[in-house]
């Protein structure tokens, strides 16, 4: 009986894409090669013009739904996916990310069955694709989110579909609507369960200073709206980015990252662009 219930947990995976022809095939492969059968895979493309749509079409028989049309930003596209989803849980996987292994959703489904939670938070492997390094994310807790402005990576979050349909993402935020969603959940005492499992490889990219400033501005807006003091400071981000540029210029960044706990990337995924698996 328990095994039957476990196999009936339906996970809606949503990938939002825009001009991701160089990376999306790896993402798609990591989903369609899962050993877990009860997956609803949805791709929302923002009207790509670089060949992304051609890649999606190659695998459309493996997809529950896909569309390519203009949107009003990433959160508008994510909301479209939420409206379409019919599973028990929703999981967002970026078009430049990938699931860690082909059996990970079997593991996640067992955890969902065991915990019966509204949100399951797993860890993720952050991947620096320039230096081919990876590091496991910290196991964040609610207190850190509230008082330090720490974000739970969405590549590790499995959220009840009913919960996502209830709140959706606030498109007034350009880069922090997912943080706003989580703060709403915390404020309304949503049950969040943390597991010490890694769900995905998350590609970190060199975000511009302007993007970081916007993100931290919105984080502070959200925290103040919920009655907490500001914790994010764009000056600190600027200093960190400046130091990184200096270390990169002198070719010591990889050495520094290794000292900080980063290791060489490795996985067994097909079509992995980082370790060139075929």
Complete DSSP assignment for 206-258? ---HHHHHHHHHHHHHHHHHTT------HHHHHHHHHHHHHHHHTT-HHHHHH
% of the chain residues with pLDDT over 90: 56
Helix, strand or coil for residue 267?
coil
| Residue with more model confidence, 79 or 271 | 79
What are 136-191's pLDDT values in tens digits? 887 665 555 554 445 678 899 999 999 999 999 999 999 889 989 988 888 888 99
Asked whether the CA dihedral 195, 200, 206, 210 is positive or negative, the reply is: negative
Q: Is 215 exposed, middle or buried (0-12, 13-18, 19+ CB in 10 A)?
A: buried
Q: Taking Cα atoms as reference points, which of 201, 198, 182, 204 lies closest to residue 123? A: 198
For residue 16, name the pLDDT band (cuts at 50, 70, 90): very high
Mean pLDDT of 237-242: 74
Q: Give the separation between CA 30 and CA 97, rounded to whole angstroms.
A: 9
- Is the pLDDT reported for residue 273 higher than 90? no
- Whether residue 79 is predicted with pLDDT greater than 90 in this model: the reply is yes
- Whether 34 has a pLDDT exceeding 50, the answer reads yes
Task: Show Cβ contacts of residue 17 under 8 Å, excluding neighbours closer than 6 positions.
Answer: 24, 43, 44, 45, 46, 48, 52, 56, 95
Percentage of the chain exceeding pLDDT 70: 86
Average pLDDT over every residue of 115-129: 91
Tens digits of residue pLDDT in 190-202? 999 999 999 999 8
Which of 254, 153, 142 lies closest to 198 in space, CA to CA?
Answer: 153
- Cα separations (Å) of 257 from 244, 263, 264, 266? 10, 8, 10, 16
Separation CA 83–CA 194 (nearest Å):
26
Assigned token pair, 97 = 């990310």
The helix-helix angle for 177-187 and 209-225 (nearest 10°) equals 20
pTM (two decimals): 0.89
Query: In whole numbers, what is the pLDDT of the chain averaged over residues?
Result: 86
Q: Which tens digits make up the pLDDT trace of 153-166?
A: 889 999 999 999 99
- Asked if the model's pLDDT at residue 24 lies above 50, the reply is yes
d(C-alpha 132, C-alpha 262), whole Å: 10
Per the CB < 8 A criterion, the answer to whether 158 and 119 are in contact is: yes
Q: Is residue 99 over pLDDT 80?
A: yes
What is the distance between the alpha carbons of residues 179 and 166, in angstroms, rounded to a whole number? 16
Q: Are 200 and 127 in contact (CB under 8 A)?
A: no
> In this model, does residue 62 exceed pLDDT 60?
yes
CA-CA distance, 114 to 110, in Å (whole number)? 6
Contact 72, 52 (CB under 8 A): no
Q: Where are the domains of the chain?
A: 2-206
How many Å apart are CA 145 and CA 158, to the nearest integer?
A: 17
Residue 206, burial from CB neighbour count under 10 angstroms (0-12, 13-18, 19+): exposed
pLDDT of residue 141: 56
Does the domain spanning 2-206 belong to CATH 3.40.1190.20?
no
């Amino acid at each position: 009986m328990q095994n039957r219930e476990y196999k009936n947990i339906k996970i809606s995976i949503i990938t939002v894409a825009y001009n991701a022809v160089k990376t999306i095939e790896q993402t798609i492969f990591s989903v369609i090669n899962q050993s877990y059968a009860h997956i609803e895979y949805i791709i929302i493309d923002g009207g790509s013009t670089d060949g992304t749509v051609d890649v999606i079409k190659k695998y459309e028989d493996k997809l529950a739904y896909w569309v390519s049309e203009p949107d009003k930003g990433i959160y508008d596209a994510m909301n479209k996916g939420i409206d379409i989803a019919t599973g028990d849980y929703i999981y967002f996987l970026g078009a430049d990310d990938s699931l860690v292994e082909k059996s990970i959703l079997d593991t996640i489904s067992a955890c969902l069955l065991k915990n019966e939670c509204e949100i399951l938070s797993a860890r993720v492997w952050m991947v620096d694709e320039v230096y081919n390094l990876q590091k496991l994310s910290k196991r964040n807790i609610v207190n850190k989110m509230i008082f330090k402005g720490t974000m739970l990576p969405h590549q590790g979050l499995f959220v009840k579909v009913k919960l996502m349909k209830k709140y959706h993402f606030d498109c007034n935020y350009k880069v922090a609507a997912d943080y706003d969603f989580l703060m709403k959940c915390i404020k309304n005492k949503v049950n969040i369960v943390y597991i010490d499992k890694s769900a995905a490889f998350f590609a970190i990219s060199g975000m511009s200073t302007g993007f970081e400033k916007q993100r931290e501005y919105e984080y502070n807006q959200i925290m103040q709206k919920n009655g907490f003091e500001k914790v994010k400071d764009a000056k600190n981000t600027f200093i960190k980015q400046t130091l990184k540029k200096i270390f990169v210029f002198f070719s010591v960044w990889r050495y520094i990252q290794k000292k900080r706990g980063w290791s060489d990337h490795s996985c067994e995924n097909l079509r992995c662009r980082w370790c060139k698996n075929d």
